[in-house]
Amino acid sequence: MSAITIAVDGPAASGKSTVGQKVAEALGYLYFDTGVMYRAVAWAALERGIPIEDEGRVTELAYAMDIGIEPPEVDDGRQNTVLADGIDITWKIREPEVNRAVSPVSAYAGVRVALMAQQREIGAQGGVVMVGRDIGTVVLPEAELKVYLDASLEERALRRHREATQRGATSTLEEQIEAIRRRDEIDSSREVAPLLQADDAYYLDTTDLDIEQVVQRILDQVPADAHNGDDGCC
């Protein structure tokens, strides 16, 4: 069996990025987080003074931008380096104002069309762990393995709070709970590609599991002959 395509979906702070990267490393696969593409568009719109509610201009921006995702060359905790027209915006897209803007941006049909073609092209090559909110349902419905990660709202907010404070950003747990609750509502109710669990997805609640346990449970779903790299979760 050749390398497969793995789609990992789930709500904000359910562990998709960290787990997806570790699964990819264990399998010798490419790790691709589609969420950073939408964050890049949201950041660029804010940077250029384009109103987030102006769907037409934000969509035009998504088509015009050159978004690059590369392996990390800086040892500062990043999972990859995100470039917007050649500018490193890896941590800029994690700022609070981008967190607030990314949900409406990702709900725009034109923005999703603009970015989906690239996502599908990468996924079709196989040997990739692609992370997002509609990968198994819309972007790569033919993926050989689909995973849906979940966790309680409180646990997800705590994770996001810890992540922010570790970067030196101002954050309170209450703010993170409200931000994630709002993000969940937008992602699940949008008309275009809402957050849904694919019917054939492997569901995994990560609330009471550590990263290694989650990674290993996913690896257990992967056929042994679909591994490109060394087996094992870490």
Look up the CATH number of the domain holding residue 171. 3.40.50.300
**Count of helix runs (H) and strand runs (E) in the chain:** 8, 8
96 secondary structure, DSSP code: H
For 159, the domain range is 5-218
* Number of domains observed in the structure of the chain: 1
Is residue 69 situated within a structural domain? Answer: yes
* Over residues 33-42, mean pLDDT: 94
Note the pLDDT of residue 57.
98
Closest to 133 in 3D by CA, of 24, 22, 218, 12:
12
* Residue whose pair of structure tokens reads 């994630």 in the numeric block: 180
* Residue whose pair of structure tokens reads 């709900």 in the numeric block: 107
Is residue 226 situated within a structural domain? Answer: no
Is residue 201 situated within a structural domain? Answer: yes
- Strands 128-132 and 87-88, by their bridges, are unpaired
Is residue 230 situated within a structural domain? Answer: no
Is residue 49 situated within a structural domain? Answer: yes
Model-level pTM greater than 0.75?
A: yes
- Within 34-136, strands assigned E span 67-70, 81-84, 87-88, 128-132
* Over residues 99-125, mean pLDDT: 90
User: What does the alpha-carbon distance between residue 81 and residue 89 come to, in Å, rounded to a whole number?
Assistant: 8
Is residue 70 situated within a structural domain? Answer: yes
Strand 81-84: give its sheet, edge to edge: 67-70, 81-84, 87-88
* Residue whose pair of structure tokens reads 């509502």 in the numeric block: 185
User: What does the alpha-carbon distance between residue 162 and residue 184 come to, in Å, rounded to a whole number?
Assistant: 19
Mention every residue, 6+ apart, whose C-beta is less than 8 A from residue 119: 32, 34, 37, 130, 132, 135, 139, 140
Residue 153 corresponds to which tokens in the numbers above?
Answer: 């709202």
Is residue 229 situated within a structural domain? Answer: no
Angle at 120 (CA atoms; ends 114, 124), nearest 5 degrees: 160
Is residue 99 situated within a structural domain? Answer: yes
Q: How confident is the model at residue 234 (pLDDT cuts 50, 70, 90)?
A: very low
Q: Has residue 168 got a pLDDT over 90?
A: no
* Over residues 102-106, mean pLDDT: 91
* Over residues 181-210, mean pLDDT: 92
Note the pLDDT of residue 230.
47
Note the pLDDT of residue 1.
59
